[in-house]
Amino acid sequence: RAFLDRIAATDERVNAFITVCEQDALLQAEAADARLKAGDDALLTGIPLALKDIFVTEGLRTTCASKILSNFVPPYNGTAVAKLKEQGAVILGKLNMDEFAMGSSNENSAFGPVRNPWKVDCVPGGSSGGSAACVAARQAIATLGTDTGGSIRQPASHCGVVGLKPTYGRVSRYGVIAYASSLDQVGPVTRDVEDCAMLLGAVAGYDPADSTSVDVPVPDYRATLKDGVKGLKVGLPKEYFIEGLDPDVKQAVEKAVDTLRELGAEPVEVSLPHTDYAVACYYLIATAEASSNLARYDGVRYGQRVDREQGLIDMYMQSRAAGFGPEVKRRIMLGTYALSSGYYDAYYLKAQKVRTLIRQDFLDAFNQVDVILTPVAPTPAFQIGEKTADPLQMYLSDIFTIPVNLAGTCGMSLPCGMSQKGLPIGLQLIGRPFGEETLLRTAYAFE
């Protein structure tokens, strides 16, 4: 009830929720109370959580912040959601996001922009802007987001909360609406590192329903949190500490390096030489995969249909023209172009080769260090409207997070200071594939 009241009191300003399940949440809470009385000690019993509206939820509208899915009520729960429910969580509702997870500011939502709880004329970041703003505004204990090129870490950074993108394959994508399938991952957004460890443990693991999920055991992430950072080698990639980095961000991140050094870690300069190609490579791969994934929204099988007299093709065209927003259309066009006959070798195939080089950069660096430390984003949260006119400027806000998705490894964002204007600044930790324990234990050392 307290969380529902908090949502009612704050969400007119924040706009983090697309759907609030007022009645159902109270019923779930009553059921949780009954289970607690009966001695059930499942990890999440009665814990109020909320989900990015990209997770399909049985009987609960799932829009992906798009008009084309504005009336879509899925018939099943995805794996991550089912796991949360099995462990007793209470789902408060579905969170706002950039349409189909395409964006870095949450301004690409058919349900209006999310506002940063620290400063409501600023963006919360994106695409999981609702997930980060919700936790920052104390509307839920924690949330789930997804991260294809930074969509958990960048909004977590801009909202002063903790966010983790697991290794590709660590969490099942079954029942998560696909944007770019070779990059998408599910992860937690939380107030602190311990909650992050708990929520990751709750959703991680092999799932036969997702052929890209990996069958490696899920460690007890909480058990190693307090192991400290003595002797840990921390890599500082020289390509990430560049001109153009906001001075407040630079200062806060350097202070975090000093703290780790005082705690016994050893900072080491490393190089990730193909960093410059990451954004271009990502926008070829992500848009190509998106154009293919979004072909299913034809007005027949899902969502909104515009009926026309002129026949089937016209109905597809009108439904898609009316249902998708401008950024989604831009990406479908870019991706379709890159995949079209005669261009495949020059664009998609080339991008895949560059992707391999970027992954190799990280693997080489992890021969020298245990964890890599960088800023999350070049600047703190920007003003609503500041970058909407220039998509390239917007794309550059993920310059430090995108390489991690291309490499398929894990990354985490945690608060490390405030800008002079009073906006949170985040620190990124990058780990070896399936090295989430090292990220969490390093992050915990700051608490």
With respect to ligand GLN, which residue has the nearer C-beta, 104 or 275?
104
Candidates 56-64, 70-78, 99-107, 259-267: pick the segment binding ligand GLN (CB under 6 A).
99-107
Min dist. Cβ of residue 92 to ligand GLN (A): 22
Residue nearest ligand GLN by beta-carbon distance: 151
Q: Residue 101 interacts with ligand GLN (CB under 6 A)?
A: yes
**Out of 77, 79, 148, 419, which residue is the one contacting ligand GLN (CB under 6 A)?**
148
Site string for ligand GLN, 407-446 (x = CB under 6 A): ----------------------------------------
Q: Is 104 in the site for ligand GLN (CB under 6 A)?
A: yes
Comparison of 178 and 203: residue with beta carbon closer to ligand GLN: 178
378 φ/ψ angles, rounded to the nearest 5 degrees: -65, -25
* Spatial separation of the C-alpha atoms in residues 376 and 374, rounded to whole Å: 6
Q: How far is the CB of 129 from ligand GLN (least distance, A)?
A: 11
The residue from 66, 104, 109, 127 that is catalytic is 127
Report CA torsion sign: 337, 343, 349, 350.
negative
Give the integer Cα–Cα distance in Å for 27 and 332. 41
Residue in 88, 93, 103, 325 binding ligand GLN, rule: CB under 6 A: 103
**Active-site position among 52, 94, 119, 165:** 52
330: which residues sit within 8 A by CB, 6+ positions away?
Answer: 391
Closest by Cα among 176, 173, 171 to 205: 171
Which CB contacts under 8 angstroms, 24+ apart, belong to 79-82?
79/172, 79/174, 79/175, 79/207, 79/209, 79/210, 80/55, 80/144, 80/171, 80/172, 80/175, 80/176, 80/186, 80/203, 81/51, 81/55, 81/56, 81/57, 81/144, 81/175, 82/175
Nearer to ligand GLN, 385 or 422 (CB): 385
Q: Give the C-alpha separation, 257 to 407, whole Å.
A: 24
Strand-pair partners of 351: none
Task: Classify residue 357 by its DSSP letter.
Answer: H
Q: How far is CA 213 from the centre of its chain?
A: 17
3-state secondary structure of 228: coil
Q: Is 109 a catalytic residue?
A: no
- In the bound state with ligand GLN, the residue whose beta carbon lies nearer, of 88 and 103, is 103
Q: Would you say 52 and 17 are in contact if contact means Cβ atoms under 8 Å apart? A: no
Where in 24-83 is the site for ligand GLN (CB under 6 A)?
none
Rg (CA), the chain: 21
Which residues have a Cβ under 8 Å from the Cβ of 418 and sit 6 or more positions away?
Answer: 160, 252, 424, 425
C-beta atoms surrounding 236 within 10 Å: 17
User: Is-contact 442 416, C-beta < 8 A?
Assistant: no
To the nearest whole angstrom, how small is the minimum distance from the Cβ of residue 221 to ligand GLN?
A: 22
* 353 C-beta neighbours (distance < 10 Å), count: 9
Q: Tokens representing 157?
A: 């950074």
Residue range at the interface with ligand GLN (CB under 6 A); choices 143-151, 168-176, 209-217, 367-375: 143-151
Which candidate in 105, 151, 213, 291 is catalytic? Answer: 151
Number of residues in contact with ligand GLN under rule CB under 6 A? 13
- Given the complex with ligand GLN, which of 408 and 417 has the nearer CB atom? 408
In the shown chain, the binding pattern of residues 169 to 208 toward ligand GLN, with x for contact by CB under 6 A and - for none, equals ----------x-----------------------------
Closest approach, Cβ 441 to ligand GLN, in A, equals 25
Q: Does residue 52 carry a catalytic annotation? A: yes
Contacts to ligand GLN from residues 350-409, by CB under 6 A: 398
Judged by CB under 6 A, the stretch of 149-157, 195-203, 368-376, 410-418 that binds ligand GLN is: 149-157
When binding is defined by CB under 6 A, the residue of 15, 131, 151, 428 that contacts ligand GLN is 151
Question: For ligand GLN, which is the closer residue by CB, 147 or 437?
Answer: 147
C-beta closer to ligand GLN: residue 140 or 328? 328
Look up residue 137 and give its two tokens: 């505004």
CB closer to ligand GLN out of 316 and 395: 395
Element (H, E) at 93: strand 90-95
One residue of 149, 205, 303, 323 binding ligand GLN per CB under 6 A: 149
Q: Report, as residue numbers or ranges, the catalytic residues.
A: 52, 127, 151
Q: Which spans of this chain sit near ligand GLN (rule: CB under 6 A)?
A: 101-104, 127, 147-151, 179, 286, 398
